[in-house]
A and B are shown apart, each in its own frame.
Chain A
Amino acid sequence: MLTPQSPITELLHAWRSGNNEALPPLTELVYAELRGMAWRRLRGADATLNPTALVHEAFVRLCESDVDWRDRAHFFALAALHMRNVLVDHARALQAEKRGGGLIQVTLTGIDEAPTENTADLVALDDALCRLESEDPRTGKVIELTYFGGLGRDEIAHVLDISVPTVDRNLRFGRAWLRRELAA
């Protein structure tokens, strides 16, 4: 029986070995941790919220130090995917609500940019990323792991089983490609 109380290492390992039952408690655990850390950040003076840092910190808090590197890679992949879903859904929900006619004022602690624009950006970004993934899945993955999972080049290289310079090149290309899409 896998519960959210099982150690994350165990859940990760089970999931990587093909046990899909491990995914929901794992996701719940990761999300809860991310959320908890985010609140502490938002309440503190350091109001910038960098998901990259969040995911790293979550990993440190959740995982034992001797965790297998492959499990570690999977953790980041999972965290990235989940973070992307959560954030895009959030952005989309806000947009949907606006179209519904009810004007809502999103208050963001410590963020200067107009939040609605950023959330709109994220939906467009996700759409563009989906297009990129359909044409060039690996570049898409590199972008996702970087921006939503907070992975460094080495870790991405591990997860995707490619060289570090390839990660760099893909990242540069992906960014340019997305910027062009979003500018259009």
Chain B
Amino acid sequence: MSDIHRVREIFDRAAALAKVERIAYLTHVCGSDAELLADVASLLACDDTQADPIAASVAATAASHFDSVRPWIGQRVGNYRVIEELGRGGMGSVYLAERADREYEHRVAIKVIRGFPSTDALERLRRERQVLAGLVHPNIARLLDGGTTEEGQPYLVIEYIDGTTLPQWLAERQPPLQERLRLFEQLCFAVHHAHQNLIVHRDLKPGNVMVRADGAPVLLDFGIAKLTAPQSDGMAATSFRAFTEDYASPEQLSGGTVTTASDIYALGLMLYELLCGECYTKDKRARPWRMHRPALVAADSPEPWIRRESRRIAGDLEHIVRRALAATPDERYSSAANFARDIQRYLTRQPLEAGPDRLAYRVRKFVARHRTAVAASIVGLAGILGTSVWLAIERNRAAHAERRARTEAQTAEQVTGFLLALFKNAAPENTRGRDITARELLDAGSGSLDHALADQPSVRARLLAALGEIYGTIGYPQRSADMLGQSIALMRAQRADPLRLAAALNESCRALQQMSDFHRAEAACREALSLREANLPPGAAELGHTHEALGVVEQSLGDMRAAKADYLRALDIFSHAGDVEREGLASAHHDLGFLAFHEGDNATALSEYRKAYDIKQALFGDVHPSTLNSLNMIAQTEQALGDLDAARADFEKVLRLRVQVLGAESSVVAHTENDLGALLQDQGDFTEAERHYRIAYTLHAKLSPDSLDLATTANNLGTLYEDRGDFEAAVAMFRESLDIRSRKFQAPHPSLARAQHNFARCLLEMGRPKEARPLLDAALAARKQIEGIPAERFDSELLDVDLRLAGGDPAGAERALGELKPPQGAGQYRRRARYAETQARIAAAHGNWSGARDAEHQAGKSLAEKLTPANPLCAQVAVREAQYAAKAHDDAHAAELVRSALPVLRQELAPMAPDRIAAERLAATLDAASAKRTVVEIR
């Protein structure tokens, strides 16, 4: 190619000439340079001063572009109409939108790229969709849908959070420190959930957190989040500096590798701000820490509500913030969950992971936490030692008066040495920096007891009994039983006081009962009983306690008659023992109630529980854990009796009071939330059920992640989502439930099989039979192998029929169904309904629409045995019946069914629930058909 400047020069001149003169000029100028000549000639051929295609192309693109960036308000996006702008970020805007068809009152947030969708922005939106699709967590805004507008603008539909942003919430509510910390803790667990799904948020800041009306935080904007999965590593190449500098980690600012530790750092910055009300900006961070310690900043805050608690910030909370803000990622908390746990430790006054590693610090924390317990056990131990030693000395007083002083001093030294050993062995160098627990203190004590006091067996026996009792109380039955066993052996050898021996035997019975070693528990209890009967007057309260303990063992052994007899004996003794044994009386009533409940005699159970409750209420008041335990059983019994409204009221009361006593963060509260959720689900109040399940879920996830409690609630929440037709959410829950159980159990196990079965059923409902198959096969194999669960086995066999049907084998399905018998019994109504529904599907597969309609009708009748017509499950079945009826040209019946079901479905089902969509469509079709008919009739 020739030099362009030379070409241009020749072109300019030639173009200025008349066409006829150009050839001569060009041959003259170019001479023998044929390439140059061709170059200029081809340009001249393209020289057209009339048309201007470039201008046309630019104009068309401009029109297309500006058209596509028209305002969104009022526009329709997918099924939604945009109402208003909620906010805008670097590249995108978020709008509030509602269902365009006015039938639904469903609000969502829609996220779009502002201006033109550049390749980078498209990539980010695509990635956010991918990231969010994998995240289902109560504290993370959920992805509902996504797509591309007619103009080619991609968008995401995200759960609309009705609340305020975190900064607004702080300004308006001015929450106390404790409340701010609780919120932060939940946030940490949400981030942890993302991290567990291999997602790094990368832009955590207060502005990206919404606070719901109930105070729960919700994490938003995964716009620049990164998947850390190995297969997605290629994405790291497209790094952009889109984060907010004041909330970015050092490695983010320096362009280093961004990991989960960067999110920990950002959480640290957020905590800093929550503590003192100010952002720990990049500039502040450049200066020494002590200049901007949160306690100092808080003390100087213009906000009184921040200033008020500034002194509480100094110390532990500052350690926590600094740990999270360590310059090197390795020195920060290893996970967001650990970060949260340190906040919990602060709130429950336990030693911090981030705390200074000093014995004094640990002991101070331990004592602060267990102020009463520690005092009691130390004083108690010292007391026992002191008295026993004193008694031993007393015996020898006359003969050995002189030795007395010396022995006493020696014993005092032994006591001191013993208590010191408790703490010495719990020093950090021995515990390798871990928290010291009550257990470790006791272990240290009992360890030194092995060597000490060998020459004073009776003192040793009593110490062992005391330690054994404490082990039992703090929940270590094995250790308790061991020590009590040693103590009992020593006492027998010493021919010790029979009543003291009886007390040790009674304690050991409790420990053995907890270990499910019922036969040894029974033996210990019977010996305690005979010792006490021989040495105490009839009607002594101790006898009542032993009868009660024995009753519990007998019930565990399955001897209900003996148990009842012992409970009644205890009841008799306590009722004559006067006011001091009112507590024992209440226990006996509770035990009798428990017995009746498990025998299926719910009426008796309810009356006994009520007696126990009344006594406890008078004795301890409403909020005592023991009172609440009886009330909880009352609620369960009412539920079993089918009095769901009463059960609901009582569960709600238990819940309210437990929260009042234990705080909202307790596993006992979580259990009640779960129970209440289950009740509400039975009642058909899906919205409330979801709320309670979610609370239980969040609590379990926080307090005991990876526990069966969490698996249970995840499963329940999964079934609820499934009942609502929100299968995506359900699948996430079932997966989590199965994951946890897979780590705990080996097949065949009923719990594992239940999770597999539920997961499989949900997959089938989503139209994914291939994935459902292996899960169902595993569940079915286990359920065939395990004895005594025929109802669950039936469930899996029925699901197997449905899977065959989905696999296109109606004949095989029909044969298999013929071999199944629907279970009888009042509690089996849902199983009978499922059976009838499968019959309906098979009939439909054969094109037998009236048969399908009748079978589906039967399913509805089964549900109606226990559920009200307003229950969404009934409405769902009604819609299916209506669909079959419409196919069978029974339009009037179909219309009637749909009309009554539709309001319930709109109220309780997810917007994308297939039954709800089907109902809306059917209603529209039937309306149109009837309108047409009307027109025809008028004509």
Interface residues of A (CB under 8 A from B): 31, 34-35, 38-39, 42, 47-52, 54, 83, 86-87, 89-94, 96-97, 102, 104-111, 113, 115, 118-119, 121-122, 125, 135-136, 139, 143, 147-148, 169-170, 172-173, 175-180, 183
Distance, CA A55 to CA B771, complexed state (A): 58
- Which residues on A sit within 8 Å (CB–CB) of B921? none
Cβ of B849 within 8 Å of any chain A Cβ, yes or no, is: no
Contact, CB under 8 Å: B117 / A173:
no
Measured between beta carbons, the chain A residues less than 8 angstroms from B66 are: 34-35, 38-39, 42, 49
B59 lies within 8 A of A178 (CB): no
Q: How far is the CB of A67 from chain B (nearest CB, A)?
A: 25
Is the CB–CB distance between B67 and A90 below 8 Å? no
Could you list 7 A-B pairs, sorted by A, with CB under 8 Å?
A54-B62, A92-B119, A97-B117, A108-B60, A118-B60, A136-B5, A169-B15
Given A86-B65, A97-B148, A125 and B57 contact (CB-CB distance below 8 Å): yes
B58 to chain A minimum Cβ distance, whole angstroms, is 5
Given that A104-B148, A106-B152, A136-B8 are known contacts, is A180 also in contact with B43, CB under 8 Å in the complex?
yes
Complex interface: chain B residues within 8 A of A178 (CB): 54
Q: Pick the most buried of B49, B122, B151, B152: most chain A CB atoms within 10 A of its CB.
A: B152
Whole-angstrom distance between the Cβ of A47 and the nearest chain B Cβ = 8
Pick from A91, A147, A176: contact of B46, CB under 8 Å: A176
Ranked 9 nearest A-B pairs via Cβ: A38-B66, A118-B60, A179-B46, A90-B65, A121-B57, A49-B63, A90-B116, A104-B152, A176-B47
Provide the main secondary structure of the chain A interface: helix
Q: What chain B residues lie within 8 Å of A118 (beta carbons)?
A: 56-57, 60-61, 64
Bound Cα distance A78, B150 (Å): 31
- Bound-state CA distance A179–B52 (Å) is 10
Q: Given the complex of chains A and B, what is the CA–CA distance between A102 and B150 in angstroms?
A: 11
Residues of B within 8 A of A91 (CB): 61, 64
Q: Mark B1-17, 1 if CB is under 8 A from A, else 0.
A: 00011001001100100
Max chain A C-beta neighbours (<10 A), residue from B45, B59, B60, B118:
B60
Known: A107-B67, A180-B46. A96 touches B62 (CB 8 A): no
Q: Which of B551-584 contact A (CB under 8 A)?
A: none
Closest A residue, CB atoms, query B58 = A147
Chain A positions within 8 Å of B151 at CB level: 104, 106-107
Query: Is B657 on the interface with A (CB-CB < 8 A)?
Result: no
* A39 x B60 contact (CB < 8 A): no
Q: A43 to B12: give the CA distance in the assembly, Å.
A: 42
B69 within 8 A of partner (CB): yes
Is A105 within 8 A of B150, CB to CB?
yes
Bound form: Cα–Cα A139–B117 in Å: 30
Q: Hey, which chain A residues are within 8 Å of B59, CB to CB?
A: 48-51, 111
Known: A50-B59, A109-B63, A177-B46. 20 other contacts (CB 8 A): A35-B66, A86-B115, A90-B61, A92-B118, A92-B119, A93-B116, A93-B152, A97-B122, A104-B152, A106-B152, A107-B67, A111-B63, A118-B61, A122-B58, A122-B61, A172-B12, A172-B49, A173-B8, A176-B15, A183-B46
CA distance A43 to B663 in the complex (A): 60
Q: Which residue of A lies closest to B42 (CB)?
A: A180
Is the CB–CB distance between A107 and B150 below 8 Å? yes
Asked if B403 lies at the interface with its beta carbon under 8 angstroms from chain A, I say no
Looking at the complex, which one of B12, B54, B60, B63 makes contact with A175 (CB distance below 8 Å)? Answer: B54
Q: Shortest Cβ distance from B922 into chain A, in angstroms?
A: 30
**B residues in contact with A54, CB < 8 Å:** 62
Q: Determine how close the nearest CB of chain A comes to the CB of B361; give it in whole angstroms.
A: 48
Which B10-69 residues have C-beta < 8 A from chain A? Answer: 11-12, 15, 42-49, 52-69
Report whether A119 and B60 are in contact in the complex, using a CB–CB cutoff of 8 Å.
yes
A90 touches B53 (CB 8 A): no
User: Bound state CA distance, A170 and B116, in angstroms?
Assistant: 31
Whose C-beta in chain B lies nearest to the C-beta of A112? B60
Chain B minimum-CB-distance residue to A116: B64
Which residue of A86, A135, A179 is within 8 Å of B48 (Cβ)?
A179
Residues in B with CB closer than 8 Å to A89 are 116, 118-119
Give chain A nearest CB distance to B210 CB in angstroms: 27
Please give, as numbers and ranges, the residues of chain A lying within 8 Å of B68 by CB-CB distance. 90, 106
B61–A87 CB distance below 8 A: yes
Q: Which of B12, B45, B61, B148 lies in contact with A102, CB distance below 8 A?
A: B148
Choose one: A52, A90, A147; the contact of B64 (CB below 8 Å).
A90
Distance A89 CA – B54 CA, assembled complex (angstroms) = 17
Residues of A near B282 (CB, < 8 A) are none
Chain B residues lying within 8 Å of A83, measured Cβ to Cβ, are 62
- Within the complex, the shortest CB–CB distance from A32 to chain B, in Å, comes to 10
Q: Which of B127-162 contact A (CB under 8 A)?
A: 148, 150-152
Complex: A47 Cα to B46 Cα, angstroms: 30
Q: Does B70 contact A (CB under 8 A)?
A: yes
In whole angstroms, what is the CA distance A49 to B61 when docked?
9
Q: In the complex the two chains form, what is the Cα distance from A161 to B517 in whole Å?
A: 100
Query: Which of A31, A35, A139 is within 8 Å of B8, CB to CB?
Result: A139
